[in-house]
Amino acid sequence: MDTPAPSPLVRLTKVGMRYGTGEPVLRDMTFSLAAGDFRFLTGHSGAGKSSLLRLLYLAHRPSEGSIEMFGRDLTDAAREELPDMRRRIGVVFQDYRLLDHMTSFENVALPLRILGKRLEEYRDDVVELLTWVGLADCINKRPTFLSGGEKQRVAIARAIVAKPDLLIADEPTGNLDADIGMRLMRLFVELNRLGTTIVIATHDRYLVEAVGADELYLEAGRLVAPEPAYASGRWQQADAQKGDGA
């Protein structure tokens, strides 16, 4: 007897979204994410990437259609159910959203404290993670004393410290130099290998090329297939063809 395929971690079916009475910013959005998927969310500015991310980290509900997440249809989910679901999601925001009264260590440790972990259980892990992202000298600094790139790395460390089931990142390397950006991408790739489903919104084609993950390409609020040269694992093939005079 064939084993039934596992249910997707996330499934959107004919999802539309609008703010207030304005025009729809997302239309007829249908796709699914399996456990362990790695997707880049791409498209021009204004295509709807940030709006789609807000749906995925449960900041908004769709105006139409349905979203299933972690085996639960969110269409009729009560508001009090959402906090437990959000704890399974790590988010890297473009504007960091760090707590200014907390040190880098305390900001990164916050998801673990919310999960009820004790300091002695997570101290070494938090210090190791901050050191790995190049912030060993910033562990006891508050956000007001950090550069934009340092704040971004703290935000990334906070998003991944609890090994979430789903990681959502909005331009996570936008304020970082190329070397640090690629180092953090390797961290995302390793987290994905351990089972975390990852969605990263980016304008950086170099990242897409380097990682070779599949894309969710948006155009005017709709999901469209990426051009073949930009699909998973095809960058090197396309470049080789160009080099051969194709």
Look at residue 18 and tell me if it is in a domain: no
Look at residue 43 and tell me if it is in a domain: yes
Q: Long-range contact list for 95-103, CB < 8 A, 24+ apart?
A: 96/143, 96/151, 96/152, 96/154, 96/155, 97/155, 98/143, 98/151, 98/154, 98/155, 98/158, 99/143, 100/142, 100/143, 100/144, 101/142, 102/142, 102/143, 103/139, 103/140, 103/141, 103/142
Structure confidence by residue, pLDDT tens digits, 173-208: 887 888 888 888 888 999 999 999 999 999 888 888
What pTM was estimated for this model as a whole?
A: 0.85
Look at residue 3 and tell me if it is in a domain: no
Domain limits for position 103: 34-59+80-243
Rounded to an integer, the average pLDDT of 202-215 is 88
Look at residue 10 and tell me if it is in a domain: no
Q: What SS3 class is residue 84?
A: helix
Task: Please name the residues in contact with 128: beta carbons below 8 A apart, sequence gap of 6 or more.
Answer: none
For the chain, the domain total comes to: 1
The token pair that represents 173 in the structure block: 């390397």
Look at residue 16 and tell me if it is in a domain: no
Look at residue 68 and tell me if it is in a domain: no
Look at residue 52 and tell me if it is in a domain: yes
CA distance 64 to 27: 9
What is the pLDDT confidence band of residue 58, given thresholds at 50, 70 and 90? Answer: very high
Structure confidence by residue, pLDDT tens digits, 83-133: 999 999 999 998 999 999 999 999 999 999 999 999 999 999 999 999 999
CATH number at residue 201: 3.40.50.300
Look at residue 72 and tell me if it is in a domain: no
